Amino acid sequence: MLSRVYSCAVVGLEGVIVEVEVDYTNGLPGVTIVGLPDAAVQESRERVQTAVKNAGLHFPRHRIVVNLAPAVVRKEGPAYDLPIALGVIILSGYLPPESIEGSLVIGELSLDGLVRHTRGILPMAATARANGYKRMFVPEVDAPEAALIPDLEVIPVKSLAHLYDHLAGRQLIQPYLPSDSFLEPLFTPTDFSEVKGQEHVKRALEVAAAGGHNVLMAGSPGSGKTLLARALPGILPEMSIEESLDVTRIYSVADQLPAGTPLIRHRPFRSPHHTISHAGLVGGGNIPKPGEISLAHRGVLFLDEFPEFGTRVLEVMRQPMEDKVVTISRAKGSLTFSANFQLIAAMNPCP
C-alpha cells in the first residue's frame, strides 16, 4: 500500500508542491530516498527512524523507498523529515490515508521527535493556499508566520507523537489563531530628532526619502554620515501589509526572520562590509539565495567606505538598480529576486 503525503519546496522566492511517496520494496531493511535530494534530505533517513521509535511507534523492518516528486526540482534542507515520517506511519497501518487529505506537511525532526523551525514557511503557506490546500501542519514556532496567509488552517505541531495523537483523534491540536500583536506602534531605533546640526544633510535626506532618490555623502570621519544614514528608515513611509509580506517572504527564504517576529514591519536597513563578494551582495551560490540588495528590498542599502568596495561588486549593482529586480542565471535555470532599494553611500573626501 503506497502512502502519499504532500509537502513543499522553495525555489527562489516561490513554493513548489512536493509529493512524498513512501512504499515497500524487496531487499534488506533500510530507507532509500530518490527525487534529487541534497545531503540534508538524505540524512533524514536516520532522523526519521529514531524519531518514529521515540514517538512510541514501531519502524517497519522492510526496505522502504521514498520518492520526492517532481524529480526535476532539487530538494534541499530538512523540511521533509515530518512528511517522510508521516508517510512511514501511514504505510505501517497506524493511520488511515484520509487523515491527512487536503493537508500540507512541513517540519524538521529532532531525534526525540520534536519538530524544529524550518525556513521559507511564508512562501510555502502562500503556495498551499494557491493550490487549494485547506490545512497546513507546521512547526509550533513557525505557526505565526504561516498564519499571515488568510483562509488557511494552520496546525502548530510540537512533536511527531502529538501529531500522531491528533490524526488518530486521541488528542486534537487546536488551530493557531493569529493575533494583532504585531500591529503595535513601530519603534524607530535611530530618530532624526536625535541628530544635532548637519541641517543641510538632513534636508537632502528628507528630499531623498520623499522622492526615493539615492544619496552619496562625502565627509570627514566622525561627521555623522553613518548616524544620518541609520536615521533615514525612520522618516520613510510606513510599509503597507502587502509590502511587509513582500519583505517577510525574502527574509523567510534567507532564514533571517528575527525570533518572535512573524511579520517585518520596519523598513529594512542593510549595511554590508566592504569585503563582501558580488554573490553576497546581489545573491547567488550553488543554490541561489537572496543577497544584501534583496534583503534591503523596500528599505535602505547603506554602503559605508564606498571607494573600498571592489569595482566588480559595484558594477553588478547597476542593472538591479535600474530594473528593481535581480535575475541570477545558472545552468539549472534562472531565478528572480526583488531588489527595489534606496542606496545611501558614504565616503571620506580623500584616502
Q: Would you write out the chain's pLDDT as a tens digit for each of its 351 residues? A: 799 999 999 998 999 999 999 999 999 999 999 999 999 999 999 999 999 999 999 999 999 999 999 999 989 999 999 999 999 999 999 999 999 999 999 999 999 999 999 999 999 999 999 999 999 999 999 999 999 999 999 999 999 999 999 999 999 999 999 876 655 556 667 888 888 888 999 999 999 999 999 999 999 998 899 999 999 999 999 999 999 999 999 999 999 998 888 899 899 999 999 999 988 999 887 778 899 999 999 999 999 999 999 988 889 899 999 999 999 887 777 889 999 999 999 999 876
155 and 219 assigned to the same domain: no
Q: What's the pLDDT at 180?
A: 66
162 and 191 assigned to the same domain: no
In a domain, 330, yes or no: yes
Are 335 and 328 in contact, with CB atoms under 8 Å apart?
Answer: yes
In a domain, 29, yes or no: yes
Domain count, the chain: 2
In a domain, 178, yes or no: no
Which of 134, 167, 200 finishes a domain?
167
204 and 327 assigned to the same domain: yes
Length of the chain: 351
254 and 280 assigned to the same domain: yes
In a domain, 175, yes or no: no
In a domain, 103, yes or no: yes
Q: What's the pLDDT at 236?
A: 92
Show the DSSP H helices in the chain as ranges.
39-42, 44-54, 81-91, 121-130, 143-146, 160-167, 199-211, 225-231, 241-253, 278-282, 292-295, 311-315, 318-323
Could you tell me the end-to-end alpha-carbon distance of the chain, in angstroms, rounded to an integer? Answer: 72
The CATH number of the domain holding residue 316 is 3.40.50.300
120 and 188 assigned to the same domain: no
202 and 341 assigned to the same domain: yes
In a domain, 172, yes or no: no
61 and 149 assigned to the same domain: yes
In a domain, 84, yes or no: yes
Q: Which domain holds residue 309?
A: 183-347
338 and 212 assigned to the same domain: yes
CA distance 84 to 82: 5
In a domain, 177, yes or no: no
Q: What's the pLDDT at 181?
A: 60
